[in-house]
Amino acid sequence: MITKLTELLGIQYPIIQGGMAWVSDSNLAAAVSEAGGAGIIAAGGRETDWVKNEVCRAKKLTSKPFGVNVQLMAPNKDEIVDMICEEKVAFVTLGAGNPIPYISKFKQAGIKVIPVVPNVKLAKRVQDSGADALVVEGMEAGGHIGVQTTMALMTQVIPQVDIPVIVAGGFADGRGVAAALVMGAAGVQIGTRFMVAAECSVHPNVKQKLIAAVDTDSVVTGQLSGHGVRGLKNKFTENFLALEKQATPQDELNRIAAGTNRRAAIDGDVENGMVLAGQCLIPLKEIEPVKTIVEAIMTEVRQTLTKASNMI
């Protein structure tokens, strides 16, 4: 399948894997790239040496393009940016901060730049600053979310820019990917579906909780403070939301939330940790190899697009 995204990155399918902190490592990224998409190593919360080791390991696991997600609020972001430029990864996705000061440096190193933006205004700014593509992520996604839905972002952002637009938030099957392509997206970013992949190193307790989840099992914490984070309902989210309603000071809430993503993803505490996950949970039925997941999604994409022509 050929889209602006597949042409830009030199990949087979218009799918990139989300850069999920404490989850997206070289093993998962390489598996997604080998399956025809574009894998991503997440640098958020990690030491620079860890990210470099994962980049080097991914190069040994695949000769296909993969990227790194850089969290621009991280204290070691400049070290990580320098390292990525030295290692010449295929592309970067940039979030949680202003990507514009970093675009020219990456491009000088021959690295494709794909910022994550929340609205039309910033989409135009990063395009004018030289970004190669951009990601818009709806509030259906797991982790830190904005205030617009995926559909609203597709409707409003895609017609306003000329560079490829990748959409994220709520994509877990081929019907969703097909809908995004029909809307004019160049591709989609998928996160939660890959968390139940065999190659994903997230704790097995997280995988089982995701598989057991139903469609109403995600919840947003931090929304009252304007910093929403979506994850699965559990003891932590129940207590946190109760504290929010009691107008607990933000500093105290930040202290309580600190480290809870790692507690779930690495330590496997799926009751006292924050299990980051998007809203599309029903498709997460079993642990499967990445290749099986990607091929199933793309088969459904083709079937959906073929059926759509019969509706006209």
Q: In terms of domains, do 96 and 233 share one?
A: no
Say how many domains are in the chain: 2
280, part of any domain: no
> Is residue 224's pLDDT more than 90?
no
Q: What is the mean pLDDT of the chain?
A: 95
277, part of any domain: no
Q: In terms of domains, do 45 and 194 share one?
A: yes
Arithmetic mean of pLDDT, 27-41: 98
Q: In terms of domains, do 209 and 187 share one?
A: no
Q: In terms of domains, do 109 and 236 share one?
A: no
Say what the pTM is: 0.93
Q: In terms of domains, do 82 and 156 share one?
A: yes
Q: In terms of domains, do 187 and 101 share one?
A: yes
83, part of any domain: yes
Q: In terms of domains, do 219 and 70 share one?
A: no
Report how far apart, in Å, the C-alpha atoms of 182 and of each of 78, 108, 116, 299, 306 are: 38, 34, 21, 16, 12
> Is residue 54's pLDDT more than 90?
yes
Q: In terms of domains, do 190 and 213 share one?
A: no
Q: In terms of domains, do 254 and 117 share one?
A: no
273, part of any domain: no
215, part of any domain: yes
CA distance 113 to 9: 11
282, part of any domain: no
pLDDT tens for each residue of 120-174? 999 999 999 999 999 999 999 999 998 999 999 999 999 999 999 999 999 999 9
Q: In terms of domains, do 132 and 13 share one?
A: yes
241, part of any domain: yes
> What CATH number is attached to the domain comprising 76?
3.20.20.70
pLDDT tens for each residue of 284-298? 999 999 999 999 999
**Residue 310: per-residue pLDDT:** 78
Question: Which range of residues forms the domain containing residue 57?
Answer: 4-201+288-311
- Cβ neighbours for 226, distance < 8 A, ≥ 6 positions apart: none
> Is residue 86's pLDDT more than 90?
yes
Rg over CA atoms, the chain: 18
Report how far apart, in Å, the C-alpha atoms of 154 and of each of 58, 227, 281, 312 are: 32, 22, 21, 22
> Which segments of the chain does DSSP mark as H helices, in order?
4-9, 26-34, 48-61, 77-87, 100-108, 120-128, 150-157, 174-182, 192-195, 204-212, 235-245, 250-257, 260-265, 290-308
Q: In terms of domains, do 133 and 221 share one?
A: no
Structure tokens at 108: 């000088």
Q: In terms of domains, do 211 and 301 share one?
A: no
> Is residue 188's pLDDT more than 80?
yes
270, part of any domain: no
